[in-house]
């Protein structure tokens, strides 16, 4: 990374939304970040190029042709990795062709999580659950007859249990559906 870019990045360590979306608009950069997320430590440019080419050509890394790999390798080396390095998202050592993560790498990988088209609309569910809970509390406060037969502490416990079970299920069902898992599932479903 250039000294000027490092000084600018040191002044404000987080990325703006514009920078984030600029970086993530390119599929090769998204695949690069996903690969780094999965492999943690420094990765070799050749291995990264094979992985990205396999994702792009919808095949296994071992089935990527040398021409396909070379096309990806060249654009990663000349365009994408310097761009990611300049933004402070990765550290790219062009002499050794090694790519390492930075704190910004982790910051961006959250944007790589996939929400499938058929996923349950959790925002609406929690909003509805909150509205029903508020209605029950209001009815209890006013003292509407059938609701007052059950003690307020039981209502409170019931509402809390429903929220806790919902959040637990939501967390379990939505654990880290990432770009690579999504692409793998798509490949299997073909």
Kindly report, residue by residue over 101-116, the tens digit of the pLDDT. Answer: 888 887 777 676 655 5
Number of domains present in the structure of the chain:
2
Using a pLDDT cut of 70, give the percent of the chain over it: 78
Indicate if 81 and 146 belong to the same structural domain: no
Question: Does 143 score more than 80 pLDDT?
Answer: yes
Indicate if 132 and 42 belong to the same structural domain: no
Indicate if 130 and 81 belong to the same structural domain: no
Answer whether residue 161 is part of any domain. yes
Indicate if 91 and 41 belong to the same structural domain: yes
Domain span at 18: 3-112
CA angle 112, 75, 79 (to 5 degrees): 80
Buried b (16+ CB within 10 A) or exposed e, 47-75: ebbbbbbbbeeeeeeeebeeebbeebbee
Indicate if 19 and 97 belong to the same structural domain: yes
Answer whether residue 77 is part of any domain. yes
pTM over 0.85: no
Indicate if 89 and 8 belong to the same structural domain: yes
Answer whether residue 130 is part of any domain. yes
pLDDT of residue 53: 94
**CA dihedral sign of residues 47, 37, 61, 75:** negative
Q: CB–CB of 3/91 below 8 Å?
A: no
Indicate if 105 and 12 belong to the same structural domain: yes
Task: Categorize the per-residue pLDDT at 74 as very low, low, confident or very high, splitting at 50, 70 and 90.
Answer: very high
pLDDT (mean) for 75-101: 92
Q: Which residue has better confidence, 186 or 136?
A: 136
- Could you report the per-residue pLDDT of 156-182, keeping only the tens digit for each? 999 999 999 999 988 887 665 555 555
Answer whether residue 168 is part of any domain. yes
Answer whether residue 117 is part of any domain. no
Answer whether residue 138 is part of any domain. yes
What is the domain-level CATH number for residue 22? 1.10.10
pLDDT of residue 13: 60
Indicate if 102 and 10 belong to the same structural domain: yes
Indicate if 107 and 126 belong to the same structural domain: no
Task: Categorize the per-residue pLDDT at 8 as very low, low, confident or very high, splitting at 50, 70 and 90.
Answer: very low
Question: Does 65 score more than 90 pLDDT?
Answer: yes
């Amino acid at each position: 990374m250039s000294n000027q870019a490092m000084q600018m990045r040191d002044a404000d360590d987080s990325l703006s939304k514009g920078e984030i979306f600029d970086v993530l608009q390119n599929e090769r950069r998204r695949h690069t970040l996903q690969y780094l997320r999965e492999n943690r430590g420094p990765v070799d440019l050749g291995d990264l190029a094979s992985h990205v080419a396999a994702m792009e050509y919808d095949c296994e890394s071992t089935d990527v042709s040398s021409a396909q790999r070379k096309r990806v390798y060249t654009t990663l080396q000349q365009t994408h990795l310097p761009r990611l390095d300049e933004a402070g998202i990765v550290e790219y050592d062009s002499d050794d062709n090694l790519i390492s993560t930075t704190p910004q790498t982790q910051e961006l990988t959250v944007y790589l999580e996939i929400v499938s088209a058929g996923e349950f609309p959790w925002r609406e569910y929690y909003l509805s659950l909150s509205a029903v809970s508020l209605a029950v509390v209001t009815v209890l406060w006013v003292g509407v007859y059938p609701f007052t037969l059950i003690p307020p502490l039981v209502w409170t416990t019931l509402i809390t249990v429903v929220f806790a079970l919902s959040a637990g299920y939501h967390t379990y069902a939505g654990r880290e559906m990432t770009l690579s898992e999504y692409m793998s599932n798509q490949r299997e479903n073909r």
